[in-house]
Amino acid sequence: MGFSIGAEGQTSGEVVFNTAMSAYQEILTDPGYSNQLLAFTYPHIGNAGVNFEDVESDRIQAAGLIVKDVSLVVSSFRAKKSLQDYLKAENIVGITGVDTRRLTRILREKGSMGGAIVVGTDKNAALELARSARPLLGTDLVSGVSTREPYEWTQTIWRWNTGYGERSDARYRVVALDFGVRRNLLRELADRGCQITVLPATSTAADVLALNPDGVLLTNGPGDPEPCTYAINAVRELVDTGVPVFGVCLGYKILALASGAKTARMKFGQHGVNHPVRDLDNSRVLITAQNHSFAVDPDSLPSSCRVTHVALFDGTLQGFERTDRPAFGFQGVPEVAPGSGSVIDLYDRFISMMEETKQK
């Protein structure tokens, strides 16, 4: 039981906990949270309000919000409205007054499960709605968040003195397959001189190659990667052509599947901005942002793949590269880089890979 914040009504989805202490607006608008009820372990959420800049897509993507204590006071010079008003404007159901740390312990011990948030007093209806929540396993959620039409992206990263910029030059032609892309992912590449065309997730390898790209970006996205057979087949063809490929989050898992590996459902996934990952090439520990409920099975990687990163919380595979093709992937969220700039260097690696391929 708790108190309603946001829209009236009801919602359901898989409940996941996120360990971030800030950036709730970016997290709520991340398409990777589609069909999920987002519970923050940090007890106090909403004190900075929301603005019109810190968004990763055009709307809130999470199915609902669960917090311990929502701030009644907004204190930020950038704030345009409160979190509560934002939820109402976006027609998102939320709840406050929940012991989210106790909820986290339940999810950690029993694993992810369906849930529901219902504004009202009918407990039986709420329980039935929770039991009927759409599962992530075996469900293709990409079709609900991917762009319907191709578009060009030119906006660069946000800076304190100027805000967002516009790409001034274009040294590399990048095609991004949109599985549920975060805007900051595109901004980082645009900031590095990439002319970016974003294509729908269902685009074929021929559609991508028709644009004569220097590199292909496989973006983040929600849900189980295995049902996305259209993407797996297209990526397999693209990798075989020798065009440089960089996979992030869901795109990383699709690259793994296209390379012959397998993926598996995790007990409760990894969601937060404080996850340590070891770079096996230099033994450095990176503090990373994560958002995923499925992992690549390292034992299923073929001999053409080399492990590059491993999560230190649970030992799961975090990154690999192809040894026979210019392709690599990373499970985390490199553009956030909460604890180390070396995570964001993965974009520079992609740039170097495109440059090396162009010079051959």
**Which domain does 75 fall in, by range?**
3-131
Statement to judge: residues 216 and 297 lie in one domain: yes
Q: Is 24 helix (H, G, I), strand (E, B) or coil?
A: helix
- Which tens digit of pLDDT belongs to each residue from 202-213? 999 999 999 999
**97 domain-assigned:** yes
Measure the CA–CA gap between 244 and 174, rounded to whole angstroms.
Answer: 10
From 101, 131, 161, give the residue that closes a domain: 131
Predicted local distance difference test score (pLDDT) of residue 337: 59
Residue 24 phi/psi, 5-degree rounding, is: -65, -30
Statement to judge: residues 165 and 272 lie in one domain: yes
Statement to judge: residues 123 and 148 lie in one domain: no
- Which tens digit of pLDDT belongs to each residue from 95-130? 999 999 999 999 999 998 999 999 987 888 889 999
Q: What is the pLDDT along the chain (360 residues), one digit of tens a residue?
A: 899 999 999 999 999 999 999 899 999 999 999 999 999 999 999 999 999 999 999 999 999 999 999 999 999 999 999 999 999 999 999 999 999 999 999 999 999 899 999 998 788 888 999 999 988 899 999 999 999 999 999 999 988 888 999 998 899 999 999 999 999 999 999 999 999 999 999 999 999 999 999 999 999 999 999 999 999 999 999 999 999 999 999 999 999 999 999 999 999 999 998 899 999 999 999 999 999 999 999 999 999 999 999 999 999 999 999 999 999 999 998 887 555 567 889 999 999 999 999 887
**137 domain-assigned:** no
**113 domain-assigned:** yes
Q: What angle do CA 343, 346, 347 make, to 5 degrees?
A: 120
**212 domain-assigned:** yes
pTM listed for this prediction: 0.95
**136 domain-assigned:** no
**196 domain-assigned:** yes
From 131, 153, 175, give the residue that closes a domain: 131
- The secondary structure of residue 10, as a DSSP letter, is E
**165 domain-assigned:** yes
Statement to judge: residues 252 and 166 lie in one domain: yes
From 72, 104, 131, give the residue that closes a domain: 131
Q: What angle do CA 337, 298, 234 make, to 5 degrees?
A: 80
Q: What Rg do the C-alpha atoms of the chain give, in angstroms?
A: 20
Statement to judge: residues 313 and 278 lie in one domain: yes
- The residues that bridge with 290 in the sheet, in sequence order, are 272
Which segments of the chain does DSSP mark as H helices, in order? 24-28, 83-89, 100-110, 123-131, 183-191, 205-209, 229-241, 250-258, 341-359
- Which tens digit of pLDDT belongs to each residue from 49-103? 999 999 999 999 999 999 999 999 999 999 999 999 999 999 999 999 999 999 9
Statement to judge: residues 333 and 240 lie in one domain: yes
Measure the CA–CA gap between 50 and 27, rounded to whole angstroms.
Answer: 12
Predicted local distance difference test score (pLDDT) of residue 122: 83
Q: Is 211 left (phi over 0), alpha (psi -120 to 50) or beta?
A: alpha
Statement to judge: residues 98 and 224 lie in one domain: no
Domain total of the chain:
2
Any idea what the CATH number is for the domain that residue 29 is in?
A: 3.50.30.20
Statement to judge: residues 32 and 171 lie in one domain: no
Backbone CA torsion sign across 111, 116, 120, 124: negative
Kindly give the pairing relationship between strand 215-218 and strand 245-248: parallel
Predicted local distance difference test score (pLDDT) of residue 334: 87
Statement to judge: residues 185 and 319 lie in one domain: yes
Any idea what the CATH number is for the domain that residue 345 is in?
A: 3.40.50.880
Statement to judge: residues 220 and 83 lie in one domain: no
Statement to judge: residues 123 and 172 lie in one domain: no
Q: Is 166 left (phi over 0), alpha (psi -120 to 50) or beta?
A: beta
Statement to judge: residues 290 and 232 lie in one domain: yes
